[in-house]
A and B are shown apart, each in its own frame.
Chain A
Amino acid sequence: MATVAKPAAPVLPAEYDRTFWSPITSWLTTTDHKLIAQMYMFTGFMSFIVAGIFALLMRVQLSVPNNTFIGDHEIYNQLMSAHGTTMIFFFTIPMMTGVMNYFVPLMVGARDIAFPRVNALGYWLIPVSIFIYYAGFFIPNNFASGDPSLANAGWTGYPPLSDLKYNGSVGIDLWCVSITILGLSSIMAAVNFLTTILALRAPGMKLTRLPLFVWASISTSILLLIATPSLAAGLILLLIDREFHTNFFTTAGRPVLFQHLFWFYSHPAVYIMILPGFGVISEVIPVFSRKAIFGYESMVLALFGIVFLSLGVWAHHMFTVGLNIYVETLFMALTMAIAVPTGVKFFNWMGTAWDGAIEFKTPMKFAFGFLATFLIGGITGIYLAAVPVDTQLHQSYYVVAHLHYVLFGGSVFTIFAGLYYWLPKVTGRILNERLGNWNFWTLFVGFNGTFLVMHTLGLDGMPRRIATYARQDWAATNFVITVSAFLIAASVLIFVINVLYSRKRGELAGPDPWDGNSLEWSVSSPPPPYNFERIPEVHSREPWKDMKLAARTAPPATPAPAPAH
């Protein structure tokens, strides 16, 4: 019994159908948060593929010592910069924004996001930003003839390397403009989410009843609002340095000031990329454990603990620039303190699954894959926070391994968990479990094969961002990493096949394929453009579960929800 009977075939609401499949103009002009969210996710995923191809090219170059696959090191630097920039700004942030855009209104019981036109503008700034960044690819470089002019100073773009004097590439200017525009888009999204959550909740949806994914969206939005202006300030000042020959960050100015401004955004950005993922995990684990979330209040407190602390840790990226040791100690202590709320969340997730009735459907597999790998990123984070040890590990492949455990383990695994969990709501069809299984295991093995062994290279002294190396004793490890990287690529290919296959031939999802608890499962899959025919009334943290129970205990006379208008 237990599960609610599914409808034989999900009927696409006529209004939705017309909107969804009508000509391309409806995509260009839509203000529906669900369509905008799908465009966010599509853009993000395409960026993921492009940046992944860059990563593979770099891995081929590094697979053996003294390789000449990318003989022009200027090209290598451009690829490496584009990989980082694209993965962070054009993949993870739009992807997370897309997921939040789709599900925040549904989960709080709203008909759309608070400012639909701002939402549309916020999305359309992203292709603009991507176009500006990649315009450099089509502009010949004026100092290394024949090469394209993508930004070449790493995704961090530290001056003076990015100053005009040492870098005539127009790619740096494009990078400044592009990322500033992307920051504007992020701020629009953040304002929209906060307003939606604060103003458009269904009756009875008190803040204390919000799903944890919505709480994660609140904390992410707060971080975006506080941190993004600092990035914009840094980039605009750098641009002024380059265009109008001022001396903010040049050798005559304060190059390290840029690092402060940059990391004041870019460290919280790590949490901007991870907190929505934490939210996804907090939804997936209870549903597939058939158990309520463990320690809801401490989960929310931990989110805000992370928000607060993450704004005070930026200088841990700068432990080798020569800060005062007492300043370093402060940043070290705050950085390590982040382990505490993160640990609370981690143990609460374990507590949720403990004594549960776990079904390892694909989303749950990715959730546990996240727990198993993110833990390693957290532990290596403690090593890196300890200043003396960091001076050894900083800017080495150990850091590359750490950041991928945090961002790949933390964001990509949670994104896959979220997509397997929620795409049935978006498309109306469940992704294939068998392909999902292959997708998970190839990703898990490929990911660990790539990044676990990478720690040893850093410990042995291999700096990051080098275009090639001469040491023969790094060869075997690098070759293992390259092979594993291709396993990750194969896994992503399986996911693409799964999505394409399931779109047409996947099992019909019905409104509630996972026997979920929150409001998004109470509407059809895909939901109608107006989301809720009647705005539901909420009485607990698991409103849809309540409604299902009520329907089962009193089948003939279901209490009518409050009318919508």
Chain B
Amino acid sequence: MRFSLRHVILAAWIALPAALAAAQPVFAAGGTSWIFPNPVSPNGERIYQLYQWITIPAVIVFLGVEIGLLYIIFRFRRRGPDHVGKPVHGNVPLEIAWFMAPTLIVALIATLSFLELQQDFQKPTDAETQMNITVTGTQFTWFYDYPDNGGLRARDTMVVPTDTFVRLTFESTDVIHSWWVPAISGKTDAVPGYQNFSWLKISSSKLSDCGGGSGDHTQTGCKWHGECAELCGVGHFGMQIDVEAMPQSDFQAWVAKQQAASRQPSPKASPSPKGP
């Protein structure tokens, strides 16, 4: 058989995914995986589970159709100038079947998604909330206000105690920003004019290995990283997010230290609860 371009490309096309799969440990060592970073908050965990549930039909459909395409490509070649296709114009039962099959699959996925939406995407009630943090996006930084801790305001790094249900309220002082730490949960937009809500609860058990490597160790706990996800201007890429979780005692110490620091220099330096 003649060694043609087609054979080279076909071989390359088969070799490419194999090479990518083989290179997986290399990517994974750096943290890039085909799946999310290990989630550390229950809402993030359930999103991840939903992702896995969707993956089952997705992989079946993907493999089934691609194999079907390859079968067609190799099986039904024209054998000569007189060879024409079968005179088939359609098959109503078959067409109904492949109308129904995707309908059922997406109905199932939509139902699962709806259940997860109801569970984790409502505004958290006051009863379940153990602590509040207001996240304010401003070109090009994030402010974190702690109304339950004497109006403390932190910048750049949000510090949270472990095992505490923290209600996050999102606000913006200028354009739309989006707060996203993939290891914690999905993103929420900070839109000027109204508030959005989300929550997190990081178990102390996650601190030993920082959620299976999705975060970095700090002196007293772990830090997870994210970025602003909505284009907000020339400094968009620099709107980095850090969330540091530490045990309750360390958190109280941090709060005391921050309050002392903000009281010390002059009352004016103490940041106001609202944006600049």
Contacts and interface: CB of A to CB of B under 8 A. Distances in A.
A379 B35 contact: no
A415 B224 CA distance: 44
A386 B54 contact: yes
Nearest to A305: B99
A333 B108 CA distance: 10
Interface stretch (B110-118, B142-150, B158-166, B255-263): B110-118
Given A255-B192, A477-B27, A387 B117 contact: yes
Interface stretch (A93-101, A129-137, A205-213, A293-301): A293-301
B88 A291 contact: yes
A348 B88 CA distance: 12
B83 A290 contact: yes
Interface residues of B, number: 100
A346 interface: yes
B235 interface: yes
Interface string B187-207: 111011110110000000000
Given A371-B69, A473-B30, A166 B175 contact: yes
A350 B109 CA distance: 25
B222 interface: no
A128 interface: no
A467 B236 contact: yes
Contacts of B230: 158, 395
B30 A340 contact: no
Given A329-B114, A388-B47, A343 B186 contact: no
Nearest to A158: B176
A243 interface: no
A195 to B, nearest CB: 30
A476 B226 CA distance: 19
Contacts of A347: 95, 98
A355 B182 contact: no
A372 B85 contact: no
Interface residues of A, number: 104
A474 B225 CA distance: 14
Interface string A71-82: 001100100000
Interface string A145-182: 00000001110001011000011000000000000000
B72 interface: yes
A289 B82 contact: no
Nearest to B81: A2
B233 interface: yes
B234 A382 contact: no
B90 interface: yes
Contacts of B21: none
A460 interface: yes
A376 B78 CA distance: 28
A329 B117 contact: yes
A463 B180 CA distance: 9
Interface in B10-45: 12-13, 16, 20, 26-27, 30-37
21 contacts: A1-B82, A73-B234, A251-B174, A252-B193, A253-B193, A291-B84, A295-B95, A325-B122, A329-B110, A332-B114, A339-B106, A340-B99, A344-B98, A356-B85, A358-B76, A391-B186, A392-B186, A459-B35, A467-B237, A468-B237, A469-B237
Given A1-B81, A321-B189, A379-B58, 18 more contacts: A161-B233, A291-B84, A291-B87, A298-B99, A339-B102, A347-B95, A351-B88, A351-B90, A358-B72, A358-B78, A382-B54, A387-B117, A392-B182, A441-B5, A453-B20, A456-B32, A459-B182, A461-B37
Interface of A: 1-3, 73-74, 77, 144, 152-154, 158, 160-161, 166-167, 251-256, 289-298, 320-322, 325, 328-329, 332-333, 336-337, 339-340, 343-344, 346-348, 350-351, 353-360, 368, 371-372, 375-376, 379, 382-383, 386-392, 394-396, 437-438, 441, 444-445, 448-449, 453, 455-457, 459-469, 471-474, 476-477
Interface of B: 5-6, 9, 12-13, 16, 20, 26-27, 30-37, 46-47, 50-51, 54, 58, 61-62, 65-66, 68-69, 72-73, 76-79, 81-91, 94-95, 98-99, 101-103, 105-107, 109-110, 112-114, 116-118, 120-122, 139, 174-176, 178, 180-183, 185-189, 191-194, 196-197, 225-237
